[in-house]
Amino acid sequence: MQSRLQEIRDHGGKVLAVCADSVTKNHKVVEQQKLDFPILSDADLVATDAYGLRHEGGNPIEGRDVSRPAVFILDGEGVIQWRHLTDNWRVRVRPETIVEQLVEMQ
């Protein structure tokens, strides 16, 4: 996302990530990766469950539940206009796909 962040913003998008990791771990990722968008912590998986994204035992190292990768584009009213969901945590939507969707929505 970071590589196309300005282009996403130029088309009216705002980026934020939600992750099942702790606030501390997410903060470290933002600093280490020099991200210009926040990563919010959903350690209790409340948002994850609200969007139906729980992957039970999805963290193979720790054996804990995590969120499936997903991208949502919401309009100004908070209504989901586009989404990309996957069952494979290795598969992520390409940032240029998000830009394409934003352009189509304008």
Listed by start position, the domains of the chain span 2-105
Structure tokens at 98: 């998000």
Task: Return the biggest CA–CA distance within the chain.
Answer: 42
* Fold classification of 2-105 (topology level): Glutaredoxin (3.40.30)
pTM for the model stands at 0.80
Q: Which tens digit of pLDDT belongs to each residue from 52-65?
A: 999 888 777 777 88
58 — phi, psi (to 5°)? Answer: -70, -15
74 — phi, psi (to 5°)? Answer: -110, 150
Query: How crowded is residue 48: how many other Cβ atoms within 10 Å of its Cβ?
Result: 21
The percent of residues above 90 in pLDDT, for the chain, comes to 60
37 pLDDT above the threshold of 90: yes
CA–CA gap between residue 51 and residue 82 (Å, rounded) = 13
Q: Which tens digit of pLDDT belongs to each residue from 43-52?
A: 999 999 999 9
